Amino acid sequence: MSTRHLMACHDCDLLHRMPAVPDGMTATCGRCGALLAKPKRNGLERSLALAVAGLVLFVLANSFPFLGFKVQGQVRETLLLTGIWELHLQGMPQVALLVFVTTVLAPLAQLLALVYILLPLRRDRAAPGMFQVFRWLRSIAPWSMTEVFMLGILVSVVKLAKMAQIIPGTAAFCFMALIFVLAACMSSLDPHEIWGRWEGPR
């Protein structure tokens, strides 16, 4: 039995004979319902374009004022990194590190890894260490929590609304856009397309 067109479900190990899944369709496991493949038209190019857009938004989100806090005439402007630095100063380096990883480092690493893999792949070339980078990308993804951070912002704004006026800065809007770009970027990426390109005409 050739394993060329076989695939095992990652959630229940059932073997599937995988037909070529048409773009825009999804293949799910017949036994446990896990998502097996979800190719998109031009998924690779789309993902690359979104990753580049994401990098631009990332730089903006980290350089402009994030949130402003206005109380009794005093205005305090903060960056995305301000809270992380404050936590560190208050003797909570572990928490500061966790927040740094989940809101800054992981999203950045995710975007860089995608660009590194996808840019050469567009011309059917594999970047050196592409598979290593892809493995990292897979393990980084669960730690990238931009959308959860956004909910945190909403809760904080409501909590402080009585006490002061909160002014969202340029960075906050860029960060919000980054959430959607990152989500779209990851969902247009079908790993099987990467392997397909890599294996090429063989």
Task: Please report, as ranges, the residues that interact with another protein according to CB under 8 A.
Answer: 1, 3, 6-8, 10-15, 31-34, 67, 69, 71-72, 74, 76, 78, 82-84, 86-87, 90, 92, 94-95, 98-99, 102-103, 131-132, 134-135, 138, 142-143, 145, 148-149, 151-153, 155-156, 158-160, 162-163, 166, 191-192, 195
Q: Round to whole Å and give the CA distance between 16 and 150.
A: 39
Residue 107 tokens, joined:
């999203």
Nearer to another protein, 115 or 198 (CB): 198
Q: Residue 48 Cβ, how far from another protein at the closest point, in Å?
A: 19
- CB-CB contact of 115 with 48 (8 Å): yes
Q: Residue 42 Cβ, how far from another protein at the closest point, in Å?
A: 21
Q: Residue 199 Cβ, how far from another protein at the closest point, in Å?
A: 9
Nearer to another protein, 12 or 25 (CB): 12
Q: Residue 171 Cβ, how far from another protein at the closest point, in Å?
A: 12
Nearer to another protein, 51 or 67 (CB): 67
> What length does the chain have?
202
- CB-CB contact of 60 with 174 (8 Å): yes
Nearer to another protein, 31 or 56 (CB): 31
- CB-CB contact of 32 with 15 (8 Å): no
Q: Residue 22 Cβ, how far from another protein at the closest point, in Å?
A: 19
* DSSP collapsed to 3 states, 107-175: HHHHHHHHHHHHHHHHCCCCCCCHHHHHHHHHHHHHHCCHHHHHHHHHHHHHHHCCCCEEEECHHHHHH
Element holding 7 (H helix, E strand): strand 6-8
Nearer to another protein, 25 or 35 (CB): 35
